[in-house]
Chain A
């Protein structure tokens, strides 16, 4: 555990000196700020953040792979993976630290959006329940996206390929899933529907915290991290 925290700290520190992380952060805040101003923060609109929470499901598909793309691919490109994995640490510890580092950085990127809550409170009387559940949903959504992004990053030495692979997997899960469900014949429809991120995410934005949804995101995260560990281990038989 000690080693995981050490590596996590290094990971977070490396984000704060990386220009690309700041670009991703700025991109995220500009886009969410734009939509917040346009749809949630208008005269007559309910003092809530529903539409912006909805939007974030899509925006993060593009932002998080940029944040996670270098996590493992850069280690492989520069060769530091060799020093890392020949230290007395396990592959699981390495992946856990990479995940925690990226996820904490994501939460840090999310933190400035709490200002919107303050702004809403200043000009209206927002219902804090759905906002809290919305942030919980975002934290869970982010963990799944980060895990998928890490998996993509473990596959290649090339950051750009890692980012694009991440986009594609997340696009499938977040956007193509619901569309496929509408096309699939009835017995399959439910299965595809249940596999899609949207099905499990939208309830959070409406103030509903359902255990099944929480489990969905936790399982998705753990599964993607499990695959990442397997990819790292595959150097042993490749």
Chain B
């Protein structure tokens, strides 16, 4: 298992706009990797560079061990690409189009028929294979795009927003199809919707503002977040005279505790959030402080930020970073 896609310090300027800023990531063979980021983060730009449609301003990209610039044709032979919005020729019939693409992708003339039959069946296009592409619904067009990407059975599949614009049943079907491709193909698919990618992919590359914000397996990313588990507790200082500030200070002095936030929870109750330094479990130590001081405790729980929160923070960070510029 080697790296099927290697991206190193890729930078792309559109005129004076910086679209990609030194991004690097790799995709191992046989993996399904989600390329996640808000709209305009640079996802499509990256995919277009990988497929040889446009060159990077600087940096290097290799697919199946070949440089996308120096060996463009060889790279394109090894990729099945579905661009965003699936551009198709409306005046062609579905099977005519797929046969044309099979020819362009060097499927031998004698095998084109079989190749078309295979992808038509695989992408549930049997009912529409003689229809004009221009008459198809969005969902069917999306499937034609997928069928086209699969026609020459390439080792690498690059799919730009494969499930956008589909209804829930179709999303489900496309999701299953892509998952089933993972055994034979390396898949890189982009999306701006986290739950979507989380269901299909076991690895994520999160991009925001032209930079890689996080990358790794979904499990690793979650584990990284679990280490940052914070503890929320609700305490009543009682009549001992300890003020809210004193409560927060005392809890903050527990070994391993970091920042403590406090807020009023009504009726004299305080809600405190203790952020641990490292991945220490502070529950017992915090409880000890509370009983020793004679405070009342009505709730204590651990809270792990979800992947969704991380993603929102990344995209919100972008919004915050945008503000001073505007």
A residues apposed to B, CB below 8 Å? 2-3, 6-7, 10, 13-14, 17-18, 78-83, 85-90, 235-237
Q: Which of B73, B87, B103, B105 contacts A80 (CB 8 A)?
A: B87
Count of CB-CB pairs between chains A and B under 8 Å: 63
Interchain CB contact under 8 A, A6 and B103:
yes
- B contact patch SS: loop
Give chain B residues whose Cβ lies under 8 Å from the Cβ of A2.
Answer: 103
A88: B residues at CB distance < 8 A: 73, 76-77, 104-106
Contacts A6-B103, A7-B104; A86 near B53 (Cβ below 8 A): yes
Contact A86 B52 (CB under 8 A): yes
- CB of B69 to closest CB in A, whole Å: 9
Task: Please name the residue on chain B nearest to A80 by beta carbon.
Answer: B87
Q: In the complex, how many angstroms separate the beta carbon of B168 from the nearest chain A beta carbon?
A: 26
Chain A's nearest CB lies how many Å from the CB of B83?
A: 5
Q: Are B81 and A86 in contact (CB under 8 A)?
A: yes
Does B100 count as interface, using CB distance less than 8 angstroms?
Answer: yes
Question: Which has the most chain A C-beta neighbours within 10 Å: B52, B91, B104, B148?
Answer: B104
Instruction: Give chain A's interface secondary structure class.
Output: helix
Say yes or no: is B172 at the interface (Cβ < 8 Å to chain A). no
By beta carbon, the residue of chain B nearest A236 is: B55
Contacts of B89 in A (CB 8 A): 10, 14, 80
Tell me whether B104 and A3 are in contact (CB under 8 A).
Answer: yes
- Is residue B101 contacting chain A, with contact meaning CB distance below 8 A? yes
Beta-carbon contact of B105 and A82 below 8 Å: no
**Hey, which chain B residues are within 8 Å of A7, CB to CB?**
100, 104
Residue of A nearest to B89 (CB): A80
Q: How far is the CB of A82 from chain B (nearest CB, A)?
A: 5
Q: List 12 A-B contacts (CB under 8 A).
A: A7-B104, A10-B100, A78-B87, A79-B83, A79-B87, A80-B88, A82-B53, A83-B101, A87-B104, A87-B105, A89-B104, A236-B55
Q: Which residues of A contact B106 (CB under 8 A)?
A: 88
Q: Are B52 and A14 interface neighbours, CB within 8 A?
A: no
6 nearest A-B residue pairs (beta carbon) = A79-B87, A87-B104, A80-B87, A86-B51, A6-B103, A88-B76
Contacting residues, chain A, for B48 (C-beta < 8 A): 82
| A3 neighbours in B (Cβ, 8 Å) | 103-104
Contact with A along B100-119 (1 / 0, CB 8 A): 11011110000000000000
Binding site for A on B (CB under 8 A): 48, 51-55, 73, 76-77, 79, 81, 83, 85, 87-92, 100-101, 103-106, 148
Give the nearest-CB partner of B84 in chain A: A79
A6 near B54: Cβ-Cβ < 8 Å: no
- Complex partner residue of A83 from B73, B81, B91, B103, CB under 8 angstroms: B81
B75 nearest CB neighbor, chain A only: A88
CB–CB A86/B54 < 8 A: no
Which residues on the B side are within 8 Å of A13 (C-beta)? 91-92
CB-based nearest A residue for B50: A86
Contact of B85 among A18, A79, A86 (CB under 8 A): A79
**A90-B83 contact given A14-B89, A82-B53, CB 8 Å threshold:** no
The closest CB in chain A to the CB of B132 belongs to A17
User: Does B104 contact A236, Cβ atoms closer than 8 Å?
Assistant: no
Question: By the criterion CB–CB under 8 Å, are A6 and B87 in contact?
Answer: no
Docked complex Cα distance between A119 and B309 (Å): 81
In the assembled complex, the CB of A16 is this many whole angstroms from the nearest CB of chain B, namely 9
Q: Tell me the smallest distance from the CB of A237 to a CB of chain B, in Å.
A: 8
Residue contact A82 to B83, C-beta cutoff 8 Å: yes
Partner of B54, one of A14, A18, A89, A236: A236
Q: Are A83 and B55 in contact (CB under 8 A)?
A: no
B79 to nearest A CB, angstroms?
Answer: 7
Q: How far is the CA of A2 from the CA of B52 in the complex (A)?
A: 22
Q: Which one of A18, A78, A81, A83 lies within 8 Å of B148 (CB-CB)?
A: A83
Q: How many whole Å from B249's CB to the nearest CB in chain A?
A: 61
Complex Cα gap A82–B79 (Å): 13
Contact A6 B53 (CB under 8 A): no
In the complex, the answer to whether A17 meets B91 with C-beta atoms within 8 Å is: yes
Which one, B54, B76, B88, B92, contacts A87 given CB within 8 A? B76
Shortest beta-carbon distance from A78 to chain B in Å: 5
CB distance from B188 to the nearest CB of A (A): 14
Most chain A beta carbons < 10 A, residue from B51, B53, B73, B85: B53
Give A117 Cβ to nearest chain B Cβ, in Å: 33
Cα of A3 to Cα of B104 in the assembled complex, Å: 6
Chain A contacts for B55, CB-based, 8 A: 236-237
Q: Please indicate which of the listed interface residues A2, A18, A78, A82 has the most CB atoms of chain B within 10 Å of its own CB.
A: A82
**Known contacts A86-B83, A87-B76; 10 further A-B pairs (Cβ under 8 A):** A6-B104, A13-B92, A14-B91, A18-B91, A82-B53, A86-B51, A88-B73, A88-B106, A90-B73, A235-B54
A8–B53 CA distance with the chains assembled, in angstroms: 22
Q: In the complex, what distance in Å separates the CA atom of A237 from the CA atom of B54? A: 8
By the criterion CB–CB under 8 Å, are A85 and B53 in contact?
yes
> A84: shortest Cβ distance to chain B, in Å?
8
- Chain B residues positioned under 8 Å from A83 (CB to CB): 81, 83, 87-88, 101, 148
Distance to closest chain A CB from B87 (angstroms): 3
